[in-house]
Chains A and B, each alone.
Chain A
């Protein structure tokens, strides 16, 4: 990945409490997995930033190397990589995701 992509990813991940790298936007997700990730965050009522990787090839490739994770979406909380949509769903269903957000001091609606 280019240094430029790495530094942009780094500042996005570290500059937002919750950030989702996804295909498309929360309003118009371009992939079922991204759509699922958005639905989970909306259900939790958490404020989050999103990055549409389809708009930026450097970030689209770079984010896969950044956390050694081959797929998109990717969720980060307070700078930590949490997982993709499968892990998000598992953690959401078990209540771990809202617990994690609470432990990290991120406000949720539920």
Chain B
């Protein structure tokens, strides 16, 4: 079962409230997304930790129902 873009955004913002989230549906099939997540809380964290925080927000869906999510993280 693919995930809707809004659900991805909602889950990320629930866990990282200040996050600015941009989701792009890469293939138009509701299954291949790119997400850019910008949050002040990423400051000072290595990239791996920044990505892990987003994956945690998605509660185990990454690598499962969410196969293809290209992720970019940044500080404002």
Main secondary structure of the interface of A (DSSP, over half): mixed
User: Which of A2-10, A11-19, A68-76, A101-109 is near enough to bind chain B?
Assistant: A68-76
Chain B interface SS verdict (over half): mixed
Total contacting residues, chain B, CB less than 8 A: 13
Q: Are B51 and A84 in contact (CB under 8 A)?
A: yes
- Of B3-11, B17-25, B55-63, the stretch lying at the interface with chain A is B55-63
Contact A70 B62 (CB under 8 A): yes
B interface list, Cβ under 8 A from A:
47-48, 51-52, 55, 60, 62-64, 68, 70-72
Residues of A within 8 A of B (CB): 32-33, 64, 68-72, 81-84, 86-87, 90-91
